[in-house]
Amino acid sequence: MWPTPASLQQTATIYIIDHISWKFVAPINNSLLLRAFTRYSTLFFPPTTYHKQSHPKPFPTDPVIDTLTVDVQAASESDQILFGTDESYTLQVSDSGASIRSPNVFGALRGLETFSQLITANELFYYINETTIQDSPRFPWRGLLIDTSRHWLPVPMILDIIAGCSYSKINTLHWHVIDGQSFPLESKVYPLLNLEGAYRLDQTYSQEDVAKIVSYANDHGVRVVPEFDMPAHATSWGFGYDFMTVKCYQRANDYDFNDGWGDDPMDPTNPEVYQFIQNFLTEMASLFPDNWFHLGGDEVNQQCWNTTAINQYMKDHNIASYDELETLFIKNVNEFVRAKLNKKLAYWQEVFQHTTPFIGDAVDVWIDSNTLKSVITKGIPAIQSFGWYLDHLGDDWYQFYKQEPIPAGVTPAQAALVLGGEGSMWSETVDNTNFHQKVWTRVSAIAERLWSPKTVTDQEDAVMRLSHHRCRYNVRGIPAEPFQPGPGCY
């Protein structure tokens, strides 16, 4: 099983599963749940060749389990997973049958995934051990960052990524939609953003695509938190709307798509820029139902603002430094979003450094543990991204697995401010050819760290379970790469 549940009891008693007459029973009729049953009626019963280990014998023939009761306390058709939504469930397999109980549909989804991982098979039949599980996550924010600006990812691939998240109980897709290189997201208010900003016309997410992605994500218990990074990493905003950015970098040639070139910042002295951002974010607020936005704020090269016009503006408005200018920009946008759009705001840690007191709702820390510690020490919620950069290709799963998000020497109240973390798949060298390969084996390690109890750290045990888990991805059609030699699925 991956990730390990909070509490698990299993016995050697085994029940044969009747997969032919398999049925789900749910006291509450809910369409999200019905769609999940359809998915899991396939995922429960993969090709039996996938299970190669030795099996206990002889098998009892009675009772046979042919029903899973999924008992959700409350559900409505408009249920939406949000930050902090209860994901707990209990799971029971015994003489009296198999059942999952949960406060809501999202806990039931977690239980269904766990149930799918409890089923094994020999050459003759599927079976399951007598089991009692009480499970809930250690951290509420368990994310995967995807970056669709450095390379486009096709919509069907994003849907697979969402399904892949659910296999490891990852509940947050941090969608770094845009960046300096390209602007692949349709805006109807400012259509030149994507018409001029996308790499290619066929590399744009239409608003219909976004709706599909967001809905598919909710079906899998995954929030979609969009990131609109500003004021830096903004070159692509300027392709269609020249006034938006200060031109600071030049391309070496038509084949230069390196990050430096994408790092033009927005112009914080131009009122049109703020009006534009407000209109754009208002449009986005209705596209993305999650009640969080990520507004970036990382890596501003303030020297790009060293222009005659900007310097004059600063002089005229008594802005003493580029630091002040940066802070001004962040505050302007922040005030609008908080007042008008009803979104909570995550920022990269640079914004924590630029606003005192911090004006967001969580600091996403990409730099190091000391910074995370200083964030929570000030009573501010934090998300760990450092140490979990999936684009650091030399870092293997175990380096990710070893990371403990709660720093040493903090109070329980401070520890409670660590909301969780994210694996970040920055995509400078990742596209549809290699995303799945690079991500799943390693992000699974992060997912267990964020879901399972702190004490789940045994490497040898994790190797065995992770071998199966990466195979599970493969069998489900996602080509996660291996982390050690071996025969593959077995």
Which chain residues interact with its own copies by CB under 8 A? 52-53, 149-152, 181-182, 199-200, 203, 252-259, 262, 393-394, 427-431, 433-434, 436-438, 460, 463-464, 467, 474, 479-488, 490
User: CB of 113: closest distance to its own copies in angstroms?
Assistant: 22
Say how far apart CA 261 and CA 251 lie, in whole Å. 6
Report whether the peptide linkage leading into residue 357 is cis, meaning its omega lies within 30 degrees of zero.
yes
Give the residue among 201, 8, 45, 234 at the shortest CA–CA distance from 121: 45
Q: What angle do CA 158, 114, 402 make, to 5 degrees?
A: 75
Decide whether 245 or 467 has the Cβ nearer to its own copies.
Answer: 467
User: CB of 436: closest distance to its own copies in angstroms?
Assistant: 8
Say how far apart CA 316 and CA 157 lie, in whole Å. 50
Decide whether 10 or 203 has the Cβ nearer to its own copies.
Answer: 203
Decide whether 409 or 487 has the Cβ nearer to its own copies.
Answer: 487
Q: What is the CA radius of gyration of the chain?
A: 24
Say how far apart CA 297 and CA 245 lie, in whole Å. 15
Q: Are 291 and 342 in contact (CB under 8 A)?
A: yes
Say how far apart CA 421 and CA 314 lie, in whole Å. 38
The token pair at 259 is 């990050």
User: CB of 398: closest distance to its own copies in angstroms?
Assistant: 12
Give the residue among 436, 350, 349 at the shortest CA–CA distance from 390: 436
User: CB of 204: closest distance to its own copies in angstroms?
Assistant: 12
Strand, coil or helix: 146: strand
Q: Residue 120: CB partners within 8 Å, gap ≥ 6?
A: 51, 53, 55, 126, 127, 128
Q: What are phi and psi of 7, to 5 degrees?
A: -145, 130
Q: Which of 299, 324, 428, 481 is catalytic?
A: 299
Does 404 participate in catalysis according to the annotation?
A: no
User: CB of 293: closest distance to its own copies in angstroms?
Assistant: 24
Decide whether 430 or 450 has the Cβ nearer to its own copies.
Answer: 430
Burial 129-166 (b: 16+ CB within 10 A, else e): bebebebbbbbbbbbbbbbbbbbbbbbebbbbbbbbbb
User: CB of 486: closest distance to its own copies in angstroms?
Assistant: 4
Decide whether 158 or 419 has the Cβ nearer to its own copies.
Answer: 158
Active-site residue numbers? 299
